[in-house]
Amino acid sequence: MINLETPKKLRPLINNAHQVAGQMLRPNSRKYDLAEHAYPKELDMLAAMVDGLSDSGQSAGAGASGVRREEADGDSGKVRNGTNLASIVGVMEMCWGDVGLLLSMPRQGLGNSAIASVADDEQRERFDGVWAAMAITEPGCGSDSAAIQTTAELDGDEYVLNGEKIFVTAGGRSDVVVVWATLDKSKGRAAIKSFVVPKDTPGITVERLDHKLGIRASDTATIRLADCRVPQENLLGSPEIDTGKGFAGVMQTFDNTRPLVASMAVGCARASLEVTRDLLAEAGAEVDYDRPAHVQTAAAATYLQIEADWEAAYMLTMEAAWMADNNQPNSLQASMAKAKAGRMANDVTLRCVELAGSLGYSEHELLEKWARDSKILDIFEGTQQIQQLIVARRLLGKSSTELR
């Protein structure tokens, strides 16, 4: 059973991440929101520090690259608080500082999570230290990842990739791109595999960088693959097409990364709540936790309501990560956490803008920025609607063909 208290061994990580968020990320938040597509050079030193701590074992899992499933160690009765939970709490604190800057951290991309989730030991060692973006979405394929049209054909000891990918986070700055492609369109979702494609490989080009509503510090690219040849050993996981297993191979990536995105939403929303509570107090609308909501001001009652919504998303996110650490199937919980946290962050940040009035709508505070940033957290890694569909399938025991 999950313990509601923060594990003692993770508290130093949380404290360190919070200090970094408060002293480095948040002070630069507005700067790189206005300077879209400018690379945040301040992150180089931070990334080097995180790498050093990870290599020394002092902050294992302190970022996207830490997300993975650990093999059972033979003590089935022992509760683990491992790299998934460490990554979750660390990312929450960093996104309390700034979501866009966290997504711009070198070697901490969602592609790194994919490598950590499904790569074998040799691949993990070979790709250690790279900055990996993840390319799933296509012009004709958004929420339904099973409809991917990018192809990968085996030619000798190489795969030849052809297709176009859009909305690739860190696609312009990364060293490699984890590209999802199909080995055989006729075999459906079971044939979809992921490939690590170095950016200097002939045939892969960054077509453009997109302008966005939020997370402007993070670059979002369109990438084209034209007869792009990658070594056979760059395929992550098994090359076998198991129609009985279906989409399970690549879904393992989502089961680990969706709680990660949920934690970004939790961190961003918490930042809005804390600033709003202070602004309300300055205006004389103190939030009193010892009194029922109906006897407090309307502003305080609204605040208590949205804070409770945040608490629910926080607990779902922690549960999904804890289950992954303890080798429990968490596909349902991962989608529940992502669905709840994504929608919660949108609702909470917008309500905080309303509660703060003109201060919330202006650039005097970061509230309006957090409201803009939060929208993507309800969209990428599977939209709200897709998460609800997955949850319904899991609860009702329906397949993707039975419940669409």
pLDDT at residue 316, rounded to an integer: 97
In the chain, where the domains are located: 8-126, 132-236, 248-396
- DSSP letter for 35, please: S
State how far the Cα of 397 lies from the Cα of 291, in Å rounded to an integer. Answer: 43
Interval 323-381: pLDDT, tens: 999 989 999 999 999 999 999 999 999 999 999 999 999 999 999 999 999 999 999 98
> Could you give the angle at the alpha carbon of 168 between the alpha carbons of 163 and 169, nearest 5°?
165
Interval 241-253: pLDDT, tens: 876 555 555 677 7
Interval 6-23: pLDDT, tens: 888 899 989 999 999 999
Q: Give the H/E segment covering residue 205.
A: strand 204-209
Nearest alpha-carbon partner for 241 in 285, 196, 197, 188: 188
The CATH number of the structural domain formed by 248-396 is 1.20.140.10
State how far the Cα of 324 lies from the Cα of 308, in Å rounded to an integer. Answer: 25
Reduce the DSSP state of residue 122 to 3 states and report it: helix
Identify whether the C-beta of residue 235 lies closer than 8 Å to the C-beta of residue 159: yes
Identify whether the C-beta of residue 300 lies closer than 8 Å to the C-beta of residue 352: no
State how far the Cα of 86 lies from the Cα of 11, in Å rounded to an integer. Answer: 10
| Residues annotated as catalytic (active site), given as ranges | 381
Backbone angles phi, psi at 137, to 5 degrees: -65, 145
Identify whether the C-beta of residue 62 lies closer than 8 Å to the C-beta of residue 13: yes
State how far the Cα of 18 lies from the Cα of 310, in Å rounded to an integer. Answer: 18
Q: Is the pTM of this model over 0.75?
A: yes
Which two three-digit tokens encode residue 266? Answer: 């939790």
pLDDT at residue 135, rounded to an integer: 95
The CATH number of the structural domain formed by 132-236 is 2.40.110.10
Which of 302-311's residues contact partners 24+ apart within 8 Å by CB, and which partners?
Answer: 302/351, 302/355, 303/273, 303/276, 303/277, 303/355, 306/273, 306/347, 306/348, 306/351, 306/352, 307/273, 309/344, 309/347, 309/348, 310/266, 310/269, 310/270, 310/273, 310/344, 310/348
Q: What is the pLDDT of the chain when averaged over all its residues?
A: 90
Identify whether the C-beta of residue 61 lies closer than 8 Å to the C-beta of residue 12: no
Give the confidence band of 67 by pLDDT, cuts at 50, 70, 90: low
Q: Domain 8-126 is of which CATH architecture?
A: Orthogonal Bundle (1.10)
Identify whether the C-beta of residue 143 lies closer than 8 Å to the C-beta of residue 167: no
Backbone angles phi, psi at 182, to 5 degrees: -105, 140
